[in-house]
Amino acid sequence: MSTPALLDRIGVDPNVCHGQAHIKGTRVMAWLVVQLLGNGDGIDEVLRAYPTLAREDVLACLQYAALLAQERVIASENAA
Q: Where are the domains of the chain?
A: 3-70
Residues sharing a CB contact under 8 Å with residue 17, sequence separation 6 or more, in sequence order? 27, 29
Contact in structure between 54 and 28 (CB atoms under 8 Å) = no
Cβ count within 10 A of residue 68: 13
Question: Which residues, listed in sequence order, are joined to residue 29 by a DSSP beta bridge?
Answer: 22
Q: What's the CATH number of domain 3-70, 1.10.10.10, 1.10.3720.10, 3.30.1490.190, 1.10.1740.10?
A: 1.10.10.10
The gap from C-alpha 4 to its chain's centroid, in whole angstroms, comes to: 14
- Give me the pLDDT at residue 56, please: 95
Regarding pTM above 0.95, the answer is no
Q: What is d(CA 79, CA 38) in angstroms, rounded to the nearest whole number?
A: 24
Q: What is the pLDDT of residues 20-64, one digit of tens each?
A: 999 999 999 999 999 999 999 999 999 999 999 999 999 999 999
